Amino acid sequence: MNMSPIEFNSEKYEVKLEYASKPVINIIRANFLTNDPIETWHGRLTGAVIAIKIAACEKNGALLDDSPSGPIALGQFIHSYFKQPVLDINWTFRFEKKDIDFDKVSKWAIIISISHIQFKEREILSIQYSDSDSVSGKAKIW
C-alpha cells in the first residue's frame, strides 16, 4: 500500500501523478474525514464520484492518448450498517488502449478527480492506493 494517501478537500478536487513507465493503480479504500453524523455524510457520499484517467504524454507534456475509467460511484460501497465513512473499493486500473505509438511516449500520468460532493471546512476524502511504483519498490526490498 502506498504510504501517502491522496487527499481531496474543498480546495483540491483533482490530483495528477506522474510515472516514467506505464502505470497500474489499485484504489484500495476511501476514508471520509468529517464531523457530520451518519445521517448527513451517508447522503453526501452517495452521489460522490471518483474518475481515473491514465494518460500517455510526450516530453513536452502534451497528451498523446488517454484511457479513462468508468466512474466509481462511492454510493455503491456504502451499506446501511456503516457507522464510519470508510469504504473498501479495491479496483485496479491500467492503460487499455493498444493503438498508440508507444515510441512517442516519454512519460505517463494518472489523473484522479472527485466530483458531485461539496466539502465543508476541514473535511477530507482520503484515498489509499497502491501503484506499480510502490509494488516494484517493495519487490526491491524483498
Q: Report if residue 115 sits inside a domain.
A: yes
Using CA atoms, how far apart are residues 26 and 69, in angstroms rounded to an integer?
A: 12
The count of structural domains within the chain is 1
- Could you tell me how far CA 114 lies from the centroid of its own chain? 8
Q: What is the mean pLDDT of residues 40-67?
A: 87
- Count of beta carbons in the 10 Å neighbourhood of residue 76: 10
Residue range(s) defining the domain that contains residue 77: 6-141
Q: What is the mean pLDDT of residues 83-89?
A: 88
How is the beta sheet containing 24-33 ordered, strand by strand?
Answer: 6-8, 124-131, 24-33, 86-94
Q: Which three cell numbers stand for residue 30?
A: 476511501
> Would you say residue 44 has pLDDT above 60?
yes
Q: Report if residue 28 sits inside a domain.
A: yes
pLDDT of residue 11: 95
Q: Report if residue 1 sits inside a domain.
A: no
Q: What is the mean pLDDT of residues 32-36?
A: 90
Structure pTM?
0.85
> Would you say residue 115 has pLDDT above 90?
yes
Q: Report if residue 47 sits inside a domain.
A: yes
pLDDT of residue 129: 93
Q: What is the CATH number of the domain that holds 18?
A: 2.60.120
Q: Report if residue 91 sits inside a domain.
A: yes
Q: Report if residue 128 sits inside a domain.
A: yes
Q: Report if residue 76 sits inside a domain.
A: yes
Using CA atoms, how far apart are residues 41 and 9, in angstroms rounded to an integer?
A: 14
